[in-house]
Amino acid sequence: MNKAKIDTVLMSHGSGGTLMKRLIEELFYEEYGSKPLLQGDDAADLSCEEMQQDPGSRLAFSTDTFVVTPHFFPGGDIGRLAICGTVNDVATSGAKVRYLSCGFVLEEGFLMDDLKRICHSMAQAAQEADVQIVTGDTKVVDRGHGDGIFINTSGVGLIPAGRRLGGALCQPGDKILLSGTIGDHGIAIISTREGLSFSTTIESDAAPLNHLISAVLEVAPQTRCFRDPTRGGLSSTLNELALQSNTVMTINEESVPVNDQVNGACEMLGYDVFQVANEGKIVCVVAAQEAEAALNAMRCSKYGENAAIIGEVTSVQAQDGGPKVYLATTFGSRRILDMLVGEQLPRIC
State which of positions 89-108 bind a copy of itself (CB under 8 A).
89-93, 95, 99, 101-105
By beta-carbon proximity to a copy of itself, the closer residue of 168 and 293 is 168
- Look up residue 134 and give its DSSP letter: E
Q: Closest distance between a copy of itself and the C-beta of residue 24, in Å?
A: 11
Cis ω before 323 (30° cut-off from 0): no
- φ and ψ at residue 188, rounded to 5 degrees: -60, -45
> What is the four-CA torsion angle of 214, 221, 163, 59, rounded to 10 degrees?
-10
Q: Is residue 17 near a copy of itself by the rule CB under 8 A? A: yes
Residue 335 binds a copy of itself (CB under 8 A): no
Pairing mode, strands 96-107 and 132-141: parallel
Residues 6+ apart with CB under 8 A from 152: 63, 64, 65, 66, 82, 101, 102, 103, 105
Q: Does 76 bind a copy of itself (CB under 8 A)?
A: no
83/156 with CB nearer a copy of itself: 156
Q: Which residues pair with 286 in a beta bridge?
A: 175, 223
Partners of 251 in beta bridges: 311, 327
Could you say which residues in the range 209-238 bind a copy of itself, by CB under 8 A? Answer: 225, 227-228, 230-233, 236
Smallest gap from Cβ 51 to a copy of itself, in A, equals: 6
Residue span binding a copy of itself (CB under 8 A) among the ranges 49-57, 76-84, 112-120, 261-269? 49-57
The reply to whether 142 sits near a copy of itself by the rule CB under 8 A is yes
Q: Does 186 bind a copy of itself (CB under 8 A)?
A: no
- Cβ atoms 127, 133 nearer than 8 A: no
Identify which of 275, 134, 160 has the alpha carbon closest to the alpha carbon of residue 213. 160
**Phi, psi for 117 (deg, rounded to 5):** -60, -40
Tell me the window of 148-156, 194-202, 206-214, 250-258 that interacts with a copy of itself (CB under 8 A). 148-156
Q: Considering the complex, what minimum distance in angstroms separates the CB of residue 141 from a copy of itself?
A: 5
Which residue number, 1 or 318, has a Cβ lying nearer to a copy of itself?
1
Kindly state whether residue 65 participates in binding a copy of itself, applying the rule CB under 8 A: yes
Near a copy of itself by CB under 8 A: residue from 24, 28, 31, 64: 64
Phi, psi of 57 (to 5 degrees): -70, 160
Q: What H or E segment, with its residue span, contains residue 39?
A: helix 35-39
CA–CA dist 330, 157 (Å, integer): 40
Among the residue ranges 19-27, 189-197, 206-214, 293-301, the one whose residues contact a copy of itself (CB under 8 A): 19-27
As a whole number of angstroms, the distance between CA 79 and CA 66 comes to: 9
Asked if residue 192 binds a copy of itself (CB under 8 A), the reply is no
Q: Is 261 in the site for a copy of itself (CB under 8 A)?
A: no
- Which CB contacts under 8 angstroms, 24+ apart, belong to 53-56? 54/158, 54/160, 54/161, 55/161, 56/161, 56/162
Site for a copy of itself in 159-178 (CB under 8 A): 159, 164-168
| Only segment of 85-93, 190-198, 201-209, 261-269 that touches a copy of itself (CB under 8 A) | 85-93
Contact present, 227 and 286 (Cβ < 8 Å): no
- Per-residue binding string, a copy of itself, 279-318, x by CB under 8 A, is ----------------------------------------
Interface with a copy of itself (CB under 8 A), residue from 35, 48, 200, 315? 48
Work out whether 141 is an interface residue with a copy of itself (CB under 8 A): yes
Q: How far is the CB of 50 from a copy of itself (least distance, A)?
A: 11
* 131 contributes a contact to a copy of itself by CB under 8 A: no
Q: Distances from the Cα of 260 to the Cαs of 273, 307, 332, in angstroms?
A: 11, 16, 21
Of 134, 209, 217, 298, the one binding a copy of itself (CB under 8 A) is 134
